[in-house]
């Protein structure tokens, strides 16, 4: 369960919202994810994880570097700057919150695709409400179980 108390992440994302495309957010989120494990990212690893060509990954990394979110040297490794780390943390928390929400609704098929489609368009206010809903279900297992049973008992839309 993600708690959104990284105000700096919100602020930085708001400042960069007009600058960051959905694709840039995806790259930054993946770099942050990998950096949690290894502390850095390599272009080849990034391109493999995002299923893009290495030259495409290089171009995007250069753009993010120009925005001050990454420290990247040609043929080198990628490090997040402090701002990049804050935004990356927020992006991963946003992703996890939406994925948890969809799981709570019983979405299992293509949950990753659904999460990716939603995460770039949800407002911060809505994201906070989704986070509260997830926390409510976590704190109230009986209600969570009733919701799950209710959803399973209904026929899906066609």
b or e along 48-82 (b: 16 or more beta carbons within 10 Å of the residue's beta carbon)? Answer: eebebeeeebbebbebbbebebbebeeeeebbbbe
Distance CA 8, CA 23 (A): 21
Q: Which CATH number fits domain 94-153: 3.40.50.300, 2.40.50.100, 3.30.413.10, 1.10.60.10?
A: 1.10.60.10
Average pLDDT over residues 55-69: 95
pTM of the model: 0.84
- What's the CATH fold of domain 7-87? Arc Repressor Mutant, subunit A (1.10.10)
pLDDT bin (cut points 50, 70, 90) of residue 47 is very high
Instruction: Please report, for the chain, the start and end positions of each structural domain, with discontinuous segments joined by +.
Output: 7-87, 94-153
CA-angle at 34, arms to 33 and 37, nearest 5°: 105
Would the CATH topology of 7-87 be identical to that of 94-153?
no
Q: Are 96 and 67 in contact (CB under 8 A)?
A: no
Mean confidence (pLDDT) of the chain: 89
Using the predicted structure, report yes or no on whether residue 3 has a pLDDT greater than 90. no
- Span of 13-22, 112-121, 143-152 with lowest mean pLDDT: 13-22
The confidence score (pLDDT) of residue 11 equals 54
Q: Which of 65, 87, 86 is nearest to 17 (CA)?
A: 87
Q: What mean pLDDT is predicted for residues 15-22? A: 72
Helices 82-104 and 7-16 meet at what angle, rounded to 10? 100
């Amino acid at each position: 369960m993600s708690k959104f108390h990284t105000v700096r992440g919100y602020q930085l994302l708001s400042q960069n919202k007009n600058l960051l495309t959905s694709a840039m957010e995806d790259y930054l989120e993946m770099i942050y994810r990998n950096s949690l494990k290894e502390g850095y990212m390599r272009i080849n690893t990034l391109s493999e994880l995002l299923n893009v060509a290495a030259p495409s990954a290089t171009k995007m990394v250069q753009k993010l570097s120009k925005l001050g979110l990454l420290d990247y040297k040609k043929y080198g490794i990628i490090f997040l700057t402090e701002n990049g780390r804050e935004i990356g943390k927020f992006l991963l928390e946003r992703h996890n919150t939406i994925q948890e929400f969809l799981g709570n609704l019983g979405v299992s098929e293509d949950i990753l695709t659904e999460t990716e489609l939603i995460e770039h368009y949800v407002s911060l206010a809505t994201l906070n409400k989704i986070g509260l809903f997830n926390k409510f279900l976590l704190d109230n297992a009986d209600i969570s179980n009733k919701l799950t049973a209710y959803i399973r008992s209904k026929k899906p839309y066609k």
